[in-house]
Amino acid sequence: MILMILAFLYTSLIGAFKEVKEISLSDLIGKINAGEVAKIVVRDSDLDVTLKDNSELRSKKENEAALSETFKNYGVAEEKLRAVAIDVQNPDGILFWLGVSLPFLLPFLLIVAFFWLTARQVQRANIQAFTFGQSRARIIYPNNAKERVMFKDVAGAKEAKEELVEIVDFLRSPKKFIDIGARIPKGVLLMGSPGTGKTMLAKAVAGEASVPFFHMSASEFVEMFVGVGASRVRDLFKMAKKSAPSIIFIDEIDAVGRHRGAGLGGGHDEREQTLNQILVELDGFETNESVIVMAATNRPDVLDPALLRPGRFDRRVILDLPDINDREDILKIHSKTKPVDESVNLRRIAERTPGFSGADLANLVNESAILAARENRKQVTQMDLINSIEKVLLGPERKSHILSDNEKKISAYHEAGHALVAAALPETDPVHKISIISRGRAAGFTLKLPIEDRHLYSKTHFLSELAVSLGGYAAELVSFGELTTGASDDLKKATDLARALVTKYGMSWTPWLKN
């Protein structure tokens, strides 16, 4: 900015003293006698001449001689001289001196500005070096209505909410727990599949208790420099204690909470130092410190046992995928902000989305709104939601993917083979839709959706699903006498299912179980 201002001043001032054509004094006398001169400005020995055609010239008068005497000596007619406006200016004006001195001062000022900017950058780098180990937690305060989340904003997870109500009560009124000698859990571990609402539920606890919420991902602790992770942990807990009662939430804690000693760095691994500092901070809480540590993971099996012992993360809350009632509630919440048509039946959509997480359902509603906007409609219809289910499950339609007539015939027989086997065998999910329009990486698809949520599966179900997976394979072989590459994905899925049936579920045909 300083350099730009100096450049502007230099341009402006130099422009005021721009070079003009120099003429001799005798030529100037000739132009005066010819009546061409309109004005003469006298600056010391310089004469700035303005002609009647507005062109500018410059000349010099004789030293130690008055200008009027010089003109008389050169024989200028008196009436011609009276027609010329003569303005005598003193050379001590600030503009004059700036114009004289700036060409000499400007290089010096540029050098000073360069060293000043360099010193400032070095100082800023030093400050950043000292703040590198500070916590980068995002803080949500109770008065932030825009980001505040309540239990009513988190649909489903009824059992998880009941588990966390005690935490809310402790943060609201810790005295009644302390007076009776009760010890509230220092840490709460939220476990569940991705998209089941672990982060939203942690925010809801802070929102219900009206306490500050310190949110940080576990991967943000660890850097390439040794000791930074532990320093950030100390700073995070220090900030939370100053704002007590408060909640610390560490997302994806398995990034730093894995079993120690398993990494390449051994005991000196930076990740392990960070984990050690978290354990120290958890042990350092006093009974009267109203700071609750919450963490989320979808890999509880890889966590270090020291994290899970009593006195640390001793309260574990499991979040499952939502059932049909929870899915309907989640759809209602996400459709509140969308212009949904009155004829939309969210219960039907919930029935068609078993296995969807809360994040999947939010994406489903958003995709349906995008589809309606793309077709220039003002409301989201039932068909928008149904089409969005297929898009979320299988990917977008590829209508530009052109198939030959023979390929269309093979795809049709292939998908019909899946559907026929599914209709003939017991314990298979009913077929909802068959299509040979490409979606995602599939040339066609047979969409099967279960009638109800299932938690236990029988061997008959797995064998039927195995046969359905190979139904397209068999249809191609029976109808055309040869196979195509279209059955490759079906073979992979069938192989994975057969391997899991034997090695994971122990449903082999041999009389003994296999591990």
CATH of the domain at 390: 1.10.8.60
Q: In the prediction, which pLDDT does 496 show?
A: 92
Alpha-carbon span 282 to 295, nearest angstrom: 12
CATH of the domain at 253: 3.40.50.300
Mean per-residue pLDDT of the chain: 79
Residues 191 and 306 both lie in one domain: yes
Dihedral-angle region of residue 266 (phi above 0 means left; psi in -120 to 50 means alpha; beta otherwise): left
Residue 192 marked as a ligand binder: yes
Q: In the prediction, which pLDDT does 266 show?
A: 46
Give the closest residue to 169 by CA, choosing from 277, 290, 87: 290
Residue 131 marked as a ligand binder: no
Residue 199 marked as a ligand binder: yes
Residue 414 marked as a ligand binder: yes
Residue 197 marked as a ligand binder: yes
Say if residue 129's pLDDT is above 60: no
Q: What is the mean pLDDT of residues 124-150?
A: 70
Say if residue 513's pLDDT is above 60: no
Say if residue 341's pLDDT is above 60: yes
Tally of residues, the chain: 515
Domain ranges, residue 380 = 324-394
CB 6 within 8 A of CB 109: yes
Say if residue 478's pLDDT is above 60: yes
Alpha-carbon span 42 to 46, nearest angstrom: 6
DSSP 244-287: -SEEEEEETGGGT-BPTT-STTGGG-HHHHHHHHHHHHHHT--T
Inside any domain, residue 101: no
Q: In the prediction, which pLDDT does 267 show?
A: 42
Residues 313 and 168 both lie in one domain: yes
Q: What is the mean pLDDT of residues 392-417?
A: 81
Q: What is the mean pLDDT of residues 211-240?
A: 80
415 is catalytic: yes
CA dihedral 399, 400, 406, 407 (to 10 degrees): -70
The band of 323, judged by pLDDT with boundaries at 50, 70 and 90, is: confident
Residues 170 and 63 both lie in one domain: no
Q: In the prediction, which pLDDT does 109 show?
A: 78
Q: Which residue has the higher pLDDT, 246 or 79?
A: 246
Q: What angle do CA 300, 305, 309 make, to 5 degrees?
A: 105
Residues 159 and 232 both lie in one domain: yes
Cis peptide, bond prior to residue 426, ω within 30 of zero: no
Q: In the prediction, which pLDDT does 84 show?
A: 75
Q: Give the range among 115-119, 151-155, 249-253, 507-511 with minimum mean pLDDT.
A: 507-511
Residue 506 marked as a ligand binder: no
Q: What share of the chain is helix, strand, coil (3-state, %, to 5)?
A: 50, 15, 35
Residue 195 marked as a ligand binder: yes
Distances (CA, A) of 494 to 178, 382, 484, 489, 498: 57, 34, 16, 9, 6
Say if residue 158's pLDDT is above 50: yes
Which residue in the list 220, 281, 367, 415 is annotated as catalytic? 415
* Tally of domains in the chain: 4
Q: In the prediction, which pLDDT does 270 show?
A: 73
CATH of the domain at 445: 1.20.58.760
Q: Report DSSP state, residue 338.
A: S
The answer for residues whose C-beta is within 8 angstroms of residue 295's C-beta and 6 or more apart is 187, 188, 189, 190, 218, 249, 250, 251, 253, 257, 313
Q: In the prediction, which pLDDT does 170 show?
A: 83
H or E element that contains 133: none
Q: In the prediction, which pLDDT does 289 show?
A: 66
Q: What is the mean pLDDT of residues 236-259?
A: 85
Residue 196 marked as a ligand binder: yes
The band of 146, judged by pLDDT with boundaries at 50, 70 and 90, is: confident
Question: φ, ψ for residue 398 (rounded to 5)?
Answer: -115, 75
Say if residue 297's pLDDT is above 80: yes
Residues 227 and 336 both lie in one domain: no
Domain boundary among 303, 319, 335: 319
Q: What is the mean pLDDT of residues 103-128?
A: 72
Say if residue 418's pLDDT is above 70: yes
Inside any domain, residue 337: yes
Say if residue 241's pLDDT is above 70: yes
Inside any domain, residue 289: yes
Inside any domain, residue 303: yes
Alpha-carbon span 88 to 39, nearest angstrom: 11
**Percentage with pLDDT > 70 across the chain:** 83
Say if residue 12's pLDDT is above 70: no
**Percentage with pLDDT > 90 across the chain:** 4
Residues 412 and 483 both lie in one domain: yes
Q: In the prediction, which pLDDT does 106 show?
A: 74
Inside any domain, residue 352: yes
Inside any domain, residue 117: no
User: What is the CB neighbour count within 10 angstroms for residue 303?
Assistant: 20
Say if residue 90's pLDDT is above 70: no
Say if residue 285's pLDDT is above 70: no
Residues 380 and 340 both lie in one domain: yes
Q: In the prediction, which pLDDT does 50 show?
A: 81
Q: In the prediction, which pLDDT does 15 show?
A: 47
The band of 265, judged by pLDDT with boundaries at 50, 70 and 90, is: low
The band of 499, judged by pLDDT with boundaries at 50, 70 and 90, is: very high
Residues 156 and 230 both lie in one domain: yes
The amino acid occupying position 209 is A
Inside any domain, residue 358: yes
Domain boundary among 362, 394, 426: 394
The band of 495, judged by pLDDT with boundaries at 50, 70 and 90, is: very high
Residue 266 marked as a ligand binder: no
Residues 280 and 336 both lie in one domain: no
Distances (CA, A) of 420 to 57, 184, 232, 278: 101, 58, 60, 57
Domain boundary among 277, 294, 319: 319
The model's pLDDT over 213-226, given as tens digits with 9 standing for 90+, comes to 998 888 887 766 66
Residues 199 and 315 both lie in one domain: yes
Residues 308 and 328 both lie in one domain: no
